[in-house]
Amino acid sequence: MSAEPRSLGASLLWHILLPRGLALLLWWGGNHLIQMPPSLVWGLIAADFLCLLWVSRAHLRVADAHMLSSGAMAPIWGGYLILLLSVLASLSLWWQALLIANRPPEGLSYSEQRAQDHADRYSLTLSQDGRALIFSGEVTFGLTKTIKAQLLLHPEVQQLQLTSPGGHIYEARGVAQLIRAQEISTLAPGLCASACTLIFAAGTTRQLGPKGQLGFHGYSLEIFGGLPQIDLMAEQRKDGDFLVGQGVTPGFIQQIYATAPTELWRPSPEQLWAGGMVRSAP
């Protein structure tokens, strides 16, 4: 018994119209009813693509046999057109399914989604006694706003504990100004490096934990080729003036910016005390 339809019309019905019509209907319904995870969508697309290849190959074989036996091209080209339309419809529904799978959760705007992405890069919690905020992670966009909100919510907070590899210097400046204005002390229980040290320097008192370290280096731009409107030396001078105002010695500041951006200077506790970077209550 032959596994293929005996006529071009039967092939059009059983190889294209019915299987592709059912597949397109399922895709359309799925896209309107559920949001599938991207991995599942890619798997279904791969399976449907293989199915599409199989029915296309089967129909083309019947079309070739029909042409050899009858020589009539009009019905063959009609079948090709229907096959092409089904392929285009499949591509459109596959693309729609991928867009839906990668769509942000409902209720979040683009700006809210971006804020959530940044917030996922750090942790900000309240200590058990309610007197300290514990920050760990990247200094990134929105941190100043988040810390300000926590200070308004918990006015009893007296200390900010910092463990961070650094991040955006502009955001660090915002947090530093906030910490200085609120007269909050700072503590580094672990490594506080790069932009984190500017926040640390804003504390009224500045202390290291048993495993605390500070790491410094000169400024650099992460964008290839740099930005001509940003003067790194001017940015270093601006933050250097802030550090001087916080009691850090000029010699210590000079050593910070003499360190290559690819290196990390970790002064000893004695150097930090002598340089004015660590200090106790006045």
The continuous run of DSSP H or E covering 26 comes out as helix 18-33
Residue 71 pLDDT level (bands cut at 50, 70, 90) = low
Q: Is residue 279 part of a domain?
A: no
What are the φ/ψ torsions at residue 141 (nearest 5 degrees)? Answer: -60, 140
pLDDT, residue 106, reads 57
Q: Is residue 282 part of a domain?
A: no
Are 184 and 200 in contact by the 8 Å Cβ rule? The answer is: no
CATH number at residue 183: 3.90.226.10
Residue 105 pLDDT level (bands cut at 50, 70, 90) = low
Instruction: Select from 207, 123, 210 the least CA-distant residue to 159.
Output: 207
What is the count of structural domains for the chain? 2
Q: Give the three-class secondary structure for 207.
A: strand
The span from the CA of 41 to the CA of 140, in Å, is 33
Q: Which of 23-27, 128-132, 226-230 has the lowest average pLDDT?
A: 226-230
My answer on whether 141 and 85 are in the same domain is no
- The tens digit of pLDDT for each residue in 130-164 reads 999 999 999 998 899 999 999 999 999 999 999 99
The span from the CA of 106 to the CA of 126, in Å, is 29
Q: Which amino acid is at 208?
A: L
- The tens digit of pLDDT for each residue in 165-199 reads 999 999 999 999 999 999 999 999 999 999 999 99
Residues 6+ apart with CB under 8 A from 145: none
pLDDT, residue 3, reads 40
List, in sequence order, the alpha helices (H) in the chain: 8-11, 18-33, 38-70, 74-101, 110-119, 143-153, 169-182, 195-200, 232-245, 250-258, 269-274
- CA–CA distance from 182 to each of 12, 171, 185, 202, 225 (Å)? 77, 17, 9, 10, 38
Residue 225, pLDDT above cutoff 80: no
My answer on whether 132 and 254 are in the same domain is yes
The span from the CA of 13 to the CA of 164, in Å, is 64
Place of tokens 């339809």: 5
Given 52, 77, 101, the domain boundary residue is 101
> What is the separation of C-alpha 268 from the centre of its chain, rounded to a whole number of angstroms?
35
Q: Is 0.75 surpassed by the pTM of this model?
A: no
Residue span of the structural domain in which 93 resides: 8-101
* pLDDT > 70 in the chain, percent: 88
Q: Is residue 163 part of a domain?
A: yes
My answer on whether 260 and 131 are in the same domain is yes
Are 200 and 214 in contact by the 8 Å Cβ rule? The answer is: yes
My answer on whether 86 and 124 are in the same domain is no
* pLDDT > 90 in the chain, percent: 57
Residue 265, pLDDT above cutoff 80: yes
